[in-house]
Amino acid sequence: MTESTNHSGDDSFPPALGDTSTQASPRRGLVVLEGRTTEARNTTPIDLLRASMRSISIEAGRVIIGQQDTPQPLTFCLLSGGHALLEGLPGVGKSLIARSMAEISGLTFRHVRMTPDLEADRLVRELCVPADGGRECLYEPCFANLVLADDIEQLPPRARAVLLQAMEERTATMEGRVWTLPSPFVVIATRNLPPLHGPHPLTERERDSFLMQLTIAYPSSRDLARIVGRTTGSGSTPARQVTDVVSVRRMTDLVREVPIARHVTDYAVRLVLATHAKDPSAPPLVRQYVVAGASPRGAQALVLAAKAAALMDGRYNVAFDDLRYLLIPTLRHRLTVRSAASEAGVDPDMILQQVLRAIDEEP
């Protein structure tokens, strides 16, 4: 995504950004911008915001090798308050990506391995960070901010329903009491590429609960050599914390305050409607292969992620480019396609690319 010209006038931005306690570094008065720590007193509110958002993405790109297309949209997902589904072959770093995002963002983290024998009650307990003697953990459960649901398609339906409830309602039931989950509460789930899917494939409704699906590609020969060198040597490259949970919470709130013009919203709506075979604007691949298009939740996800993208670019408004950039990761998992599509070598990404070509910005 390219840098756009900022609109002038900080007074039009939400006042909360002017709070000097909003910071992009765990140390007060400092921000980490483009890998450098600088004094925050000379920065504008939008600089503080962009520093926080961009630092998360940049640091993730430094730690995660060979996945250049993953850190930025995953940052948008995190700051939109949504959940992410990572799909890829075993061993390509899906778990590392989730753990790194938690460490970089200063969020508490739980890695829960989904197994066929994991019961619902035990799953809820697995969402908690082990008590370390702190007062806040003595008398009530400490649920993690970011949960890695590793190999989610191994989880049986009853336990998965509990996880989906936590994702959608931000609550969990333990020992007969309903607990409110922390803010933020983000689930990053992983699953293998077909035909290596688990015994309990995600249903259309379950997939719709994820704001994004990101495909984790197998590394190139050059990247694989870097991975081998980094992981088999004596040194290590730990992730640096560049922000904290309070800042993430404020950024998530601010994302929703970004305005979007009516004609830009209209473009998002027309893109989503074009994924339905019966819609007059649907392109040929949609009419031929799509059984069910994206739901209204897909339109919400697209606009929220686009708002986060606009903020990272230093803009107070959503642009058409933001929607185009994020259409595929926010909608690819929401399309239900016929088996004939895979037989013809057509996947959801190809279908959505045709949607982008078919729908004009202005009606």
- Residue 43 within any structural domain of the chain: no
Q: Is 9 left (phi over 0), alpha (psi -120 to 50) or beta?
A: left
Q: Are residues 71 and 191 in the same domain?
A: yes
Q: Among residues 215, 232, 249, which one ends one of the domains? A: 232
Q: Are residues 209 and 274 in the same domain?
A: no
What tokens does 152 get?
Answer: 């989610």
Q: Are residues 289 and 228 in the same domain?
A: no
Q: Are residues 107 and 227 in the same domain?
A: yes
The set of residues, in sequence order, having a beta carbon less than 8 Å from that of 257 and lying 6+ positions away, is 14
Q: What is the pLDDT of residue 1?
A: 44
- Residue 33 within any structural domain of the chain: no
C-beta neighbour count of 22 within 10 angstroms: 20
Q: Are residues 62 and 161 in the same domain?
A: yes
The overall longest dimension of the chain from CA atoms, in Å, is 61
Q: What is the pLDDT of residue 140?
A: 60
Q: What is the pLDDT of residues 12-43, one digit of tens each?
A: 333 332 232 333 333 333 344 444 444 445 56
d(C-alpha 156, C-alpha 160), whole Å: 6
Q: Are residues 204 and 273 in the same domain?
A: no
Q: Are residues 97 and 174 in the same domain?
A: yes
Q: What is the pLDDT of residues 235-275, one digit of tens each?
A: 677 889 999 998 898 889 889 989 999 999 999 999 999 99
- Residue 41 within any structural domain of the chain: no
Task: Supply the CATH number for residue 103's domain.
Answer: 3.40.50.300
Place of tokens 């069910």: 292
d(C-alpha 206, C-alpha 192), whole Å: 16
Number of domains in the chain: 2
> Does the pLDDT at position 80 exceed 50?
yes
Q: Is there a cis peptide before residue 195, judged by omega within 30 degrees of 0? A: yes
Q: Are residues 212 and 67 in the same domain?
A: yes
Q: Among residues 232, 248, 267, which one ends one of the domains? A: 232
The number of residues making up the chain comes to: 363
Q: Which residues span the domain enclosing 86?
A: 55-232
The set of residues, in sequence order, having a beta carbon less than 8 Å from that of 89 and lying 6+ positions away, is 192, 193, 196, 216, 218
For residues 331, 334, 336 and 342, what is the CA-based torsion angle, rounded to 10 degrees? Answer: 50
Q: Among residues 166, 198, 232, which one ends one of the domains? A: 232
Task: Supply the CATH number for residue 291's domain.
Answer: 1.10.8.80
- Within 84-140, where are the H helices? 94-105, 120-126, 135-138
- Residue 333 within any structural domain of the chain: yes
Q: What is the pLDDT of residue 362?
A: 85
d(C-alpha 351, C-alpha 345), whole Å: 11
Q: Are residues 203 and 271 in the same domain?
A: no
How far is Cα of residue 118 from the mean position of the Cα atoms in its chain?
25
Mean pLDDT over the full length of the chain: 83
> Does the pLDDT at position 174 exceed 90?
no
Are the C-beta atoms of residues 74 and 63 closer than 8 Å to each other? no
- Residue 66 within any structural domain of the chain: yes
- Residue 312 within any structural domain of the chain: yes
Q: Are residues 176 and 264 in the same domain?
A: no
Q: Are residues 186 and 299 in the same domain?
A: no
The set of residues, in sequence order, having a beta carbon less than 8 Å from that of 229 and lying 6+ positions away, is none
Average pLDDT estimate for 64-70: 82
> Does the pLDDT at position 141 exceed 80?
no
- Residue 122 within any structural domain of the chain: yes
What tokens does 33 get?
Answer: 């911008």
Q: What is the pLDDT of residue 132?
A: 56
- Residue 263 within any structural domain of the chain: yes
Which range has the worst mean pLDDT, 74-83, 140-149, 162-171? 140-149
Q: Are residues 156 and 205 in the same domain?
A: yes
Give the residue from 45, 42, 40 showing the smallest Cα distance to 10: 45
Q: What is the pLDDT of residue 175?
A: 77
Q: What is the pLDDT of residues 264-308, one digit of tens each?
A: 999 999 999 999 999 999 999 999 999 999 999 999 999 999 999
